Every structure is written in structure tokens, then in C-alpha cells.
Amino acid sequence: MAAFFIGSRASNLAKAQVRGYLAPLRERFPEVTFTHRVILEGGDRDRRSLLSDVSAASGGSAFSSEQEAALLRGDVDAVVHSLKDLPTANPPGLVLLPPPGREDVRDALCGSTLAGLRKGARVGTGAPRRIAQLLAVRPDLELVPIRGNVPPRLKKIETMGLDAVVLAAAGLRRLGLEHEVGELLPLELFPPSPGQGALGIQVRADDSAVRAVLATAGDPAVDAQVRAERALLAELHGGCSVPVGAYAETRPDGSLSLFAQVTSLDGRQRVSGTLTGPSSEPEKLGTALAGRLTDQGARSILDALRTATAV
């Protein structure tokens, strides 16, 4: 009997994602024993420092470096990430498998609706993309930085006197917290982080036995979508700390439509565009749209943000 060890972060959301991912695999491969192992990341240990500082200290990502190291050492056979938290480049020796479907990609406002927020309302979010997109629509808002797992961030509405917080709808749904949603924010104004709502299934490139089993859970359509989104982000030299939103949809004819938006951190500048291409070439589509956005001024927005954060 084969035994596979599957790693993830320690949060309740990460554990829920692993349970959901493994359930059909356990039915499909009863001869395989799947064991979940929790791996603590730098971003989980340090809840006070800036994520950029935590990432620098870890030599990679605040939410994936320790898991990737464990995978490379052979401590686990695969890691289940939230794909939006993963850098666009895999470490040497690791690859991503096609994700198993995708949850709702939208952001959710919890505690209020957008129209229901009073002037000057205090809204909690630590993501530059969400800050920028909210200010573009509601420049009167006071954006309050918050970090942590989903339930603690929801509690900050009370503990910090916030009017609302912004979270990914996917995480709320996976935790059974849909009732906390005040409004699902419209995609045309609030495009999500590339890969949001999808899982990142990371394995060793040379582990053919694990790849053969886990690849059976992959969804080719979702794989094309997230590859296009991540290729766009990579071409813009961005990451989860920059205000880039993107989402791809598979059209009825099988083609792929990609929408993306780059927003200045103060919300005053927005560059957006849509491009459609064959789903067989998602990276080409993402790269092409990134080029169009760059021609329209996206690079100057991102360069200004990097300059400001470096000071």
C-alpha cells in the first residue's frame, strides 16, 4: 500500500482545503494512504511584521517557503497551497499540477455592503490590491491594515471598531462562513488576485508516482485560467503584494478570456484590458495582455509603488 504525505499551512482554512482536496482522491485510490502534515510558515509565526519583511527573512515567500523546503527535503510528497499566495516562479525541482476545480474568485465585503458604508468608514484589509481598488471606488474610506486567518480577521470588526473587512469569498465558503458576506464585490471593479479561488498543488518534478495519482484530480479548464493569470502577473513582475487583479474565464467555444487591472495604491489611476485567445496557449495570452497594460501605463504605476515601498 502506498503512503503519501500531504503538507499545508496550519490555519483552519488550509486544513479545510486539504480535506476537500483529498476526499475524492481517497475514494478513487483506496489503496493509497494519504496523511496530512502541518507546516508552520513565517507569515503564520510573525503576525506583526510587514509581509515583505517576513518574506525577505525567509528568503522567499512568507506563506510558502517552509512548505517548499519540506517538499524538497522529502518530508512531504505534495503541498496544498492557496494558489494566490504562491510566487509565480517555482523553485528548481518543484512543479504545479492542474488545480482541482475552483471556488468563487470574488472578494467579499463582510460587515456591510459597499453602498451601506458610511462616509469615512473604516475597512480592514492588508492587501495593496484591495486597498487600491476600494479607494478607486470609495476614496473617502479609511483603510485599516489587518492580518491573520479568516475568523480572527472577521472578529476585528468588533475588536478594532471596523465597519467592514474584505476577504476572499473562496475562503469563507470553504470554512462554511458564507453567512458573513455582506456583498460579493463586482469583478469588473474588483478583479481578484491571480489564482484566487484555486488550489496550488505542488509536487517534486521527478516524483512520477505522486504526480500520476494527484494529476487525476486536475481540471484542465481551471489550469488554463490560472496559468494565464499567473503569466500576466509574472510578466508585470508582480506578486501578491502589488495591486494587480486578473481573472480568466473559459468561453462556450473553448477559448479563454482574460481581464486584468492595475490600480495605483491611492486609487486614482486604473489601467485595465481584456484579451481572448486559445485555451491551449494560456501563458501567451497572459503575456500579451500584460504587454498591452504596460503600453497603457501599468509599468509606471507599479514602478511608483516599488519606489514608494523602498523608501
pLDDT at 54: 46
Report d(CA 103, CA 93) in Å as an integer. 28
Which sequence spans correspond to the domains of the chain?
2-99+199-218, 107-184, 244-310
Helices (H), 59-107: 65-73
Q: Which of 163, 283, 296, 307 has its CA nearest to residue 227?
A: 283
* Predicted TM-score of the model (pTM): 0.92
User: Active site residue: 44, 85, 107, 207, which one?
Assistant: 85
2-99+199-218 and 107-184 agree in CATH topology: yes
Is 107 one of the catalytic residues? no
Q: Cα–chain-centroid distance for residue 17?
A: 13
Element (H, E) at 181: strand 181-184
pLDDT at 46: 56
Contact 7, 39 (CB under 8 A): yes
pLDDT at 78: 98
Element (H, E) at 284: helix 282-295
User: CATH homologous superfamily for 107-184?
Assistant: Periplasmic binding protein-like II (3.40.190.10)
Q: What is the pLDDT along the chain (311 residues), one digit of tens a residue?
A: 799 999 999 999 999 999 999 999 999 999 999 999 999 997 676 555 555 444 444 455 778 999 999 999 999 999 999 999 999 999 999 999 999 999 999 999 999 999 999 999 999 998 999 999 999 999 999 999 998 899 999 999 999 999 999 999 999 999 999 999 999 999 999 999 999 999 999 999 999 999 999 999 999 999 999 999 999 999 998 666 689 999 999 999 999 999 999 999 999 999 999 999 999 999 999 999 999 999 999 988 988 877 666 54
Could you give the angle at the alpha carbon of 295 between the alpha carbons of 90 and 190, nearest 5°? 65
Class of domain 244-310: alpha beta
CATH 3.40.190.10 fits 2-99+199-218, yes or no: yes
pLDDT at 306: 72
